[in-house]
Amino acid sequence: MTGTVLEVDGLSVDIRTPHGTVRAVDKVSFSARRGRTLALLGESGCGKSMTAQAIVSLLDPTAEVAGGRVVLDGTDLVAADEQTRRAMAGPELAIVFQDALTALNPVYTVGTQLAEPFRIHRGLSRKQARREAVDLMARVGIPEPETRVDTYPHQFSGGMRQRLLIAIAVALSPSVLLADEPTTALDVTVQAQIMHLLRELRTERDMSVVLITHDLALVAEQADEVVVMYAGNVVESGPVREVFDRPRHPYTKGLLDSVPVHAARGDDLKSIGGAPPDLHSIPSGCVYQDRCPLARDLCRTCRPEPAEVAPGRTAACHFSAEVK
């Protein structure tokens, strides 16, 4: 595909637990393009954050990549050695986390933390790096950057901390920016400010943004493509408009139906019965069978692979044609 900078191909992640090894991410594939936003959408525990952590090689020690490739500008990060990965972290690939207070170091000034990428990757002097840090703070909309550069993270509000994290992430103009629930902890008016900033930076630096979120409305507004995950598997993918207008997987359909819409105020919402499966007891066959209104014998025995249902769209369902 043209403009593809990040290609994730059959990525699997295993977690070792006291009760045995479980597969948290199962053969996930997608590709992200320059200047576009791709959303990884799913509910808690679906494996979306773990996919992001695997891409940036920040998996918890109990988890490991069990297979697949993560190709960034021609380099497979899974096969690459530590040194190569480190050299690419920052100039090529960066991540913004949800919780800005724990992601920032409380004992260093924000200036020191913003200057770090320039010191490490560009070898700038303290003074030069500090100047870059001030410019960067101004760029992400922090008032009075010259004085605030010497203050500590706890002296900033939630929205301002998220701006700082974004500043650190985009410092070296990466090709791909992963944003893991970047606005979940923020109020909506602040969320709007942050998403506005991310969009500007994406266009300005021709980055690819991978937005990891559980918020369907945010996906509808911000993303070009969406990858829907359930129990570690990609169940549907494609252009956001098409997927949301006409979902081809019963889970996507169920999620969309669960969103309150004002047209039906006071009426019962359609909800998905039950709960996602425990990773220790993922059923053989389709991962969604226990909650699916279309499930039948084939679904219990044979797991559907993602198949093309329209140009640029996939769905992992034996009966995707029946999803209405």
Partner 1 sequence: MTHTADTGTVDPAGPAGEPLLQVRDLTKTFPIRSGGRTRRLRALGGISFDLRRGETLGLVGESGCGKSTLARTLLMLERPDSGTVRFDGVDPFTLRGARLLQWRRRVQMVFQDPFASLNARMTAGDIVSEPWRTHKDLFRSAKERSARVRQLLGLVGLRAGDENRYPQEFSGGQRQRIGIARALALDPDVIVCDEPVSALDLSVQAQVLNLLNDLQRQLGVSYLFISHDLSVVRHVADRVMVMYLGGIVEQGGTEAVFGRALHPYSAALMSAAPSLDSDGRSEQIILKGELPSPLSPLSGCRFRTRCWKATDECAAASPELTPDPDDDGHTAACFHPMGEGAEPVPAGRGAR
Instruction: Note the residues at the interface with partner 1 (CB under 8 A).
Output: 43-44, 157-160, 187-193, 196, 199-200, 203, 214-218, 220-222, 224, 244, 254-262, 264-266, 268-273, 275
Q: Which of residues 27 and 291 has its CB atom nearest to partner 1 in the complex?
A: 291
Q: How far is the CB of 72 from partner 1 (least distance, A)?
A: 24
- How crowded is the C-beta side of 167, counted as CA atoms within 13 Å? 29
Q: How far is the CB of 181 from partner 1 (least distance, A)?
A: 13
Instruction: Return the closest-CA partner of residue 91 out of 69, 59, 60, 123.
Output: 123
Instruction: Return the closest-CA partner of residue 180 out of 294, 288, 47, 75.
Output: 47
Q: Which of residues 4 and 193 has its CB atom nearest to partner 1 in the complex?
A: 193
Q: How far is the CB of 252 from partner 1 (least distance, A)?
A: 11
Instruction: Return the closest-CA partner of residue 112 out of 129, 128, 124.
Output: 129
Instruction: Return the closest-CA partner of residue 68 out of 42, 99, 29, 95.
Output: 29
Paired tokens of 146 = 């010259």
> Exposure string (b/e) for 199-226, b if CB count within 10 Å is 16 or more?
eebbeeeebbbbbbbbbbebbbebbebb
Q: How far is the CB of 295 from partner 1 (least distance, A)?
A: 16
3-state secondary structure of 108: coil
Q: How far is the CB of 123 from partner 1 (least distance, A)?
A: 34
Q: Which of residues 56 and 218 has its CB atom nearest to partner 1 in the complex?
A: 218
Q: Cα dist. 137→50, 86, 133, 162 in Å? A: 29, 24, 6, 11
Question: Residue 87: which H helix or E strand, with range?
Answer: helix 82-88
Q: How far is the CB of 263 from partner 1 (least distance, A)?
A: 10
Q: Which of residues 179 and 216 has its CB atom nearest to partner 1 in the complex?
A: 216
Q: Which of residues 64 and 224 has its CB atom nearest to partner 1 in the complex?
A: 224
Tell me how far apart the alpha carbons of residues 280 and 156 are, in angstroms, rounded to a whole number. 41
Q: Which of residues 268 and 297 has its CB atom nearest to partner 1 in the complex?
A: 268
Q: Which of residues 264 and 321 has its CB atom nearest to partner 1 in the complex?
A: 264
Q: How far is the CB of 12 from partner 1 (least distance, A)?
A: 23
3-state secondary structure of 211: strand
Query: If 0-12 CB within 10 Å is exposed, 13-18 middle and 19+ buried, where does residue 279 land?
Result: middle
